[in-house]
Amino acid sequence: MPLLRLTDASIAFGVHPLLDRAQLQLDCGERVGLVGRNGEGKSTLLKILSGELKPDSGDVWRQAGLKVALLDQAPSLPEQGTIYDAVADALGEIGHWISEYHRLSERLTGHGEADLRPLERLQYQLESHDGWRLRQRVETVLSRLGLPEDKPTAGLSGGWQRRVALAQALVLEPDVLLLDEPTNHLDLDAILWLEEHLLQFSGAILLITHDRAFLQRVATRIVDLDRGRLTSWTGTYEDFVRRKAAALEEESRHNAEFDKKLAEEETWIRQGIKARRTRNEGRVRALKKLRDERRARRERQGTARLALDQAERSGKVVMEAEGISLAFDGHPVVRDFSTTVMRGDRIGLIGPNGAGKTTLVRLLLGELPPDSGTVRLGTNLKVAYFDQLRAQLDPEQTLVEAVGGGQEWITIGEQRTHVLSYLGNFLFSPVRARSPVKTLSGGEQNRALLARLFSQPCNVLVLDEPTNDLDIETLELLEELLGDFEGTVLLVSHDRAFLDRVVTGTFVFEGEGRVAEYVGGYSDWLQQRGSAAAVASTVAPVAKAPERSRSRKKLSYREQRELEQLPAEIESLEARRAEVNGLINTPEFYRREPADVQRTLDELKRLEAQLELSFERWNELESQLAGDASAPG
């Protein structure tokens, strides 16, 4: 059943239209991925569908009473109140009641009746308007996205604002969900939860994302925005990639044949006087038509040409850490971590937001002294740093000034290049290159930062979330560039496909300051840590307790007893977790005293942590047992 339809829609902000008589229909239950290069107009299309913008021509039809929610690239949040208030208030009047109830519950001290009377009034209002279920939805979304509910919205960074805006969109549970880069600034756990949430969503979804693993799993069809036209491709993202490549090859062949015919006709029309007197007027009219068709053709934007200015090679050992630990306010960030990074290693850092990934990078680079342990740096290191906050770009400078440092010429390797020509390699026109940085889109700012970074001679690259806002084609070029880089790469990223294609090893934050080292990328890490533990800690379904091992070779008596008792312990923990989850999911749960509610939520967190540790210990003992069993006797 169609929920929303776009017919012959056109809109332009410059010479070429962003949409050129575009057609699109969204049906209930569809999950559509919208792809296209940066600047093609994907975000503009979402704003037209949401009603925020009107097309220059064409029609937008929406089903009567349709509820649409849009996650914008640059969300606007209220300056007053907390994150909890901003998310709950998206629900309208009931949301205001939920916010007020939350505020009064937090403030309630048990003395006097001044706060009890309004609290009782709000309880009645929430009970009579299904408010407890909506309050639970607010709490769940805040928890899953890792949002500190009592943090003020004033002064939030752009990344935090986008996460709050995502929570506002999800909590509405609209008929149509329009998402513009929803995975930006989310950690892996939040991305995996969002995938599951969208897979269960009953309405229609149209999403823009650079995360290919996310797109492959979520989207049921791909819509490609290319030179103003929308083309729908059924199937998965991988199906689209193959079919799009074939279509572009066919287009290139057709254009070559057309251009050859046009050149032949242009040669014919320029023949001498005798030929002009006898030429066929129909052929002349056909030539004019060919000229008009060629003039109207929009060429596909060129491909970015990325190149690194590689410095002289570093020493073979780039950095070596021995037993390093660091804690902030008594909380361990890194605990007893040792590693050796060699020249040519490409290391990915994986972990939740706030786990300490950037801190570990600073420790390894010697920018931050550890509380204990030692770090030794190799020789001849030249480090270039990509900052996800783009702090290296002055928003008031023009792009030419920001990248060229006020100089018209820059030197890449041994070649001297004009800064405008260099920026052209990153798909910036001369007009765009002379624009202030603050006028650039998020994707353009990331490309600008890459241009600045790659102009610096380096043999160690530190990339902190480089994939945010980049289009997929530029991402693939960046992957190739890093694969050919002869130096060392430290990469902080939550993009699973990017990690799989770039890194040779991973440092994974496993809680309480523990950092483990694995060979390979994201998929290799999941496989190595054990499928049971991976599923339990990422998607968190009800896992089946492991069966008791039948053989008991060369384990100590204590370890044998521990292995025998672990299945029963896991079953007990899972039973209690199911019991607590059932309690939390009842509408009556949030009518309890706030302190009691918080104790139950804390218990659930403890149970999940204990389950993860139990699965890890079980895998460890089973692996040891398997190793003993296979060893020669």
CATH of domain 317-529: 3.40.50.300
Quick: pLDDT tens for 523-573: 888 888 764 344 444 333 333 333 433 333 456 667 777 777 888 888 788
Q: Which residue has the higher pLDDT, 214 or 414?
A: 214
pTM for this one?
0.67
> Cα-flanking dihedrals φ and ψ of residue 518, to 5°?
-130, 155
Question: Percentage of the chain with pLDDT > 90?
Answer: 24
A 10 A CB-CB count for 199 gives 11
DSSP bridge partners of 412: 415
Cα(268)–Cα(251) distance, rounded to whole angstroms?
A: 26
Give the pLDDT confidence score for residue 405 in this predicted structure. Answer: 76
Nearest Cα to Cα of residue 41 among 288, 224, 220, 228: 228
pLDDT in tens, 567-602: 888 878 878 887 877 777 665 665 677 667 777 877
Give the residue extent of every domain in the chain: 1-77+158-262, 80-155, 317-529, 536-630
Give the class (CATH, top level) of 1-77+158-262.
alpha beta
1-77+158-262 against 317-529: fold identical: yes
Of 372-376, 508-512, 589-593, the poorest mean pLDDT is in 589-593
pLDDT band at 305 (very low <50, low <70, confident <90, very high): low
- Name the CATH architecture for the domain at 536-630: Orthogonal Bundle (1.10)
CB distance 412 to 392 below 8 Å: no
Give the H/E segment covering residue 321. strand 317-328
Residues in the chain: 633
